[in-house]
């Protein structure tokens, strides 16, 4: 059985995944013609979302933690816009 990951660690890992996506080398040619780059970015963003998706639904989550998760969701959206558009 998989071990439970605390919410604080999930938030830390999610932010690390966002930074990893930002650190990926941008393709030489412009546009969305580099499908492997797009796939890598989208996969990292999906992983970041999946890590924190259920934190706001947890009864033990504080309001500060819920606000931090909402901020991370916005950060993920902004990172996708910055990297793919």
Question: Looking at the whole model, is its pTM more than 0.85?
Answer: yes
Q: What are the distances in angstroms from CA 66 to CA 10, 16, 19, 38, 45? A: 13, 18, 21, 29, 19
* Tens of pLDDT, residues 63-83: 999 999 999 999 999 999 999
The tally of domains found in the chain comes to 1
- Percent residues over pLDDT 70 in the chain: 93
Q: Is the pLDDT of residue 8 over 90?
A: yes
Average pLDDT, the chain: 91
What integer pLDDT is reported at residue 18 of this predicted model? 97
Domain membership of residue 67 (yes or no) is yes
Query: How many CA atoms within 13 Å lie on the side-chain side of 80?
Result: 15
- The whole-angstrom separation of Cα 22 and Cα 82 is 9
* Tens of pLDDT, residues 32-48: 568 889 999 999 999 99
Domain that holds residue 53: 7-21+35-84
Binned at pLDDT 50, 70 and 90, residue 27 comes out as confident
Domain membership of residue 76 (yes or no) is yes
């Amino acid at each position: 059985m998989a071990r439970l990951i605390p919410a604080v660690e999930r938030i830390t890992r999610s932010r690390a995944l966002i930074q990893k996506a930002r650190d990926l080398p941008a393709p030489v040619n412009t546009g969305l013609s580099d499908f492997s780059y797009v796939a890598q970015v989208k996969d990292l963003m999906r992983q970041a979302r999946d890590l924190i998706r259920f934190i706001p639904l947890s009864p033990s989550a504080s309001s500060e933690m819920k606000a931090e998760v909402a901020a991370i969701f916005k950060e993920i959206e902004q990172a996708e816009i910055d990297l793919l558009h």
